């Protein structure tokens, strides 16, 4: 998805569809593929990010003098940050293409969204090269960073990029010389491109990104969206249970009884430490196992048998035997 062709394919391909009442049963292979891809579960963070992004895009639409306000999605690993970023990016892409469909005479479709990964040990030149690669802008070894930046800004403006998604932003360290230059490049791009920037990274408030002069500039322009673990309870609401129910309602198993998984909310919260990525992976793996072994249902015993990612396992303390 870090090229326009890949992003366009992702954004315009119908997401996996849950089973619908009245439809004939799907084959085993179809159901395995469905649970492998699965639907995007709409979490509170996704809802907040979608609302904030839409608002800031309108707010910055006619702003000329300074950099437009931006967003930073932060949280621990496996908390659903990239999922939220991609969901909002796809929604923006589809909304724009519905509003301004490409003319049959046009050689190129609309390009409203860019998705860029910060490379490991990023320098300003390697990062701007990633921006260039997204739209297939030719870059030679002889080109300077300034020349590549000018080509990127010209092409992005011409293409009509409105939303720039930058993932793995925690890889930047403005305390180093190369990191400071890379942070300055991003600041320059936000001032030159008429687009809203949304960043995502692991626990960015604990990194050097928010310290020093450059960190103060970023913090002063960016709204923070916390994509942390979901609490079991929040006031009178039960957001983690709501997410479990949503996941269960989208399963495609022949013998699974609705309401089974929400009854194990406490166990699932302890097992995953409230991380959405770990939760969806656990349940999807259990569903695939249930299809393979023919049980066609998920139980606490079958969940216990699934080995989770190391991060979740290190936070999980097994229930003592009774």
Are the CB atoms for 270 and 240 separated by under 8 Å? no
In terms of Cα–Cα distance, which of 205, 229, 200 is closest to 215?
Answer: 205
Of the candidates 204, 207, 239, the one whose C-alpha atom is nearest the C-alpha of residue 225 is 204
Structure confidence at residue 202 (pLDDT):
93
pLDDT tens for each residue of 172-229: 888 889 988 998 999 899 989 999 999 999 998 888 877 777 777 777 788 899 988 9
Greater pLDDT, 187 or 116: 116
**Cβ–Cβ under 8 Å, residues 187 and 222:** no
Mean pLDDT, the chain, rounded, equals: 89
Task: Burial-class residue 105 by CB neighbours within 10 Å (0-12, 13-18, 19+).
Answer: exposed
Answer whether residue 164 shows pLDDT above 90: yes
pTM of the predicted protein model: 0.87
């Amino acid at each position: 998805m870090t090229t326009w062709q890949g992003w366009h394919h992702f954004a315009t391909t119908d997401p996996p569809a849950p089973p619908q009442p009245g439809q004939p049963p799907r084959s085993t292979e179809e159901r395995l593929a469905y649970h492998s891809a699965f639907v995007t579960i709409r979490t509170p963070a996704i809802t907040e990010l979608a609302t904030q992004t839409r608002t800031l895009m309108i707010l910055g639409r006619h702003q000329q003098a300074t950099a437009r306000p931006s967003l930073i999605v932060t949280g621990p690993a496996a908390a659903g940050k990239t999922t939220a970023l991609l969901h909002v990016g796809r929604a923006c892409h589809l909304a724009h293409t519905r509003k301004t469909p490409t003319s049959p005479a046009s050689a190129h479709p609309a390009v409203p969204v860019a998705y860029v990964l910060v490379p490991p040990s990023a320098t300003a030149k390697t990062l701007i090269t990633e921006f260039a690669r997204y739209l297939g802008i030719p870059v030679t070894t002889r080109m300077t960073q300034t020349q590549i930046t000018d080509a990127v800004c010209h092409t992005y403006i011409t293409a009509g990029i409105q939303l720039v998604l930058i993932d793995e932003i925690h890889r930047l360290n403005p305390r180093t010389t190369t990191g400071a230059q890379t942070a300055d490049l991003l600041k320059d791009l936000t001032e030159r491109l008429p687009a809203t920037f949304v960043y995502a990274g692991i626990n960015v408030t604990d990194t050097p990104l928010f310290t020093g002069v450059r960190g103060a500039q970023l913090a002063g322009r960016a709204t923070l969206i916390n994509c942390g673990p979901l609490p079991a309870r929040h006031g009178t609401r039960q957001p983690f249970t709501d997410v479990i129910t949503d996941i269960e309602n989208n399963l495609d198993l022949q013998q699974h009884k609705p309401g089974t998984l929400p009854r194990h909310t406490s166990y699932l919260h302890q097992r995953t430490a409230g991380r959405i990525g770990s939760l969806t992976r656990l349940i999807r793996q259990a569903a695939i196992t249930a299809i393979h072994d023919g049980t066609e249902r998920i139980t606490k015993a079958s969940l216990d048998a699934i080995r989770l990612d190391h991060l979740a396992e290190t936070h999980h303390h097994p229930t003592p035997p009774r």
